[in-house]
Amino acid sequence: MPHDHHGHHHHHIDPQAGDARVAWAVAVNMALTVAQVIGGLLSGSLALIADALHNFSDAVALIIAFAARKIARRPADAQMSFGYGRVEVVAALVNYTTLVVIAIYLVYEGVARFFDPQPIDGWLVVWIAVIALVIDLVTAALTYSMSRDSMNIRAAFLHNVADALGSVAVIVAGTLVILKGWTWVDPLVTLLIAGYILWHVKAEIGSVIRVLMLGQPVGVDTGDVIADIRAAEGVEDVHHVHLWLMQEHQAALQAHVVVASTDWPGAEAIRSDLKARLARNFGIAHTTLELESAAHGCSGAQLIGH
């Protein structure tokens, strides 16, 4: 997006390079999942199998994000006249929802462990957790720069950060079990991680839902846009205003503009001036304006909505 003043820094990573990164991240997580399941079966450690499920959820989150990125690049067609860009927002919603489910499950597990502490084979668990942490950090590094521009990749990235924290927690808890025999550290840390995940989702999911609900773009105030249109030359009034986000970084506006009867001959010029003005002042590139002469305009129309 050439004009985008939501303060997003667009370090545009070439789509192919971005795809390759995500694909590598998926491969690494899948390999780790297999290794942990084998390790868990050999050692009889439930913790390892649980951690394997975590990494599997990371891989799935990344696969969803990867597929969404691919689909989003398709051009608009008769089936999807607005294009496929929004699929990334849908993917982000799916991934945040699964994160909430994981967090709630962690709370449940953590609380259950407080009442019924499990014996832990400290060393084995610590070593596997160290390997898992390395993998999670590699994945996070692969997707970090992309996560700043895309809510889709950001949701998958958060899965990984949550998982890396889980590994850190396991290392800390395992070490304390070995040294001090404190089994309660494990559930405590589990609850802290669940809290961290939920706190992050709360911060991020609002903007995802806002896009899906066709809400006002972040950083653009509908009232300001209306005032700006009214201030334009030849515009008598405006109504039926809709201002929304087509995709994460793409605002769109639709409105009925009433032109004074005396200015009606120059209506086309007024329309193109308005479009240029909205693109310049608010970065709204996708504008659909219906012009009405003051003599024949809708009477008593709603300012916003239909």
Closest Cα to residue 72, out of 9, 146, 160, 137? 146
Tell me 5's DSSP state: -
Whether pLDDT at 254 is above 90: yes
- Residue 184 sits in the same domain as residue 158: yes
pLDDT recorded at residue 253: 92
pLDDT recorded at residue 234: 85
- Residue 74 sits in the same domain as residue 136: yes
- Residue 149 sits in the same domain as residue 229: no
**Is residue 260 classed exposed, middle or buried when 0-12, 13-18 and 19+ CB atoms within 10 A define those classes?**
middle
- Residue 191 sits in the same domain as residue 241: no
Q: State the average pLDDT for the chain.
A: 81
Element holding 289 (H helix, E strand): strand 286-293
Q: Which residue has the tokens 């605002």?
A: 251
- Residue 44 sits in the same domain as residue 192: yes
121: Cα separation from own chain's centroid: 37
pLDDT recorded at residue 173: 74
In a domain, 217, yes or no: no
Whether pLDDT at 297 is above 70: no
Closest Cα to residue 258, out of 221, 298, 218? 298
Angle (CA) 93 201 194, round 5°: 125
- Domain end point (choices 186, 212, 238): 212
- Residue 161 sits in the same domain as residue 63: yes
pTM, 2 dp = 0.76
pLDDT recorded at residue 255: 92
- How far, in Å, CA of 215 to CA of 242, rounded? 9
Domain containing 284 equals: 222-293
Adjacent-strand bridge partners of 259 = 235, 293
Adjacent-strand bridge partners of 257 = 238, 291
Give the number of domains in the chain. 2
pLDDT recorded at residue 35: 78
- Domain end point (choices 159, 178, 212): 212
Q: Per-residue pLDDT tens for 227-247?
A: 999 988 888 889 899 999 887
* CATH number of the structural domain spanning residue 273: 3.30.70.1350
- Residue 47 sits in the same domain as residue 171: yes
pLDDT recorded at residue 275: 92
* CATH number of the structural domain spanning residue 31: 1.20.1510.10
- Residue 279 sits in the same domain as residue 261: yes
- Residue 174 sits in the same domain as residue 280: no
Adjacent-strand bridge partners of 242 = 254
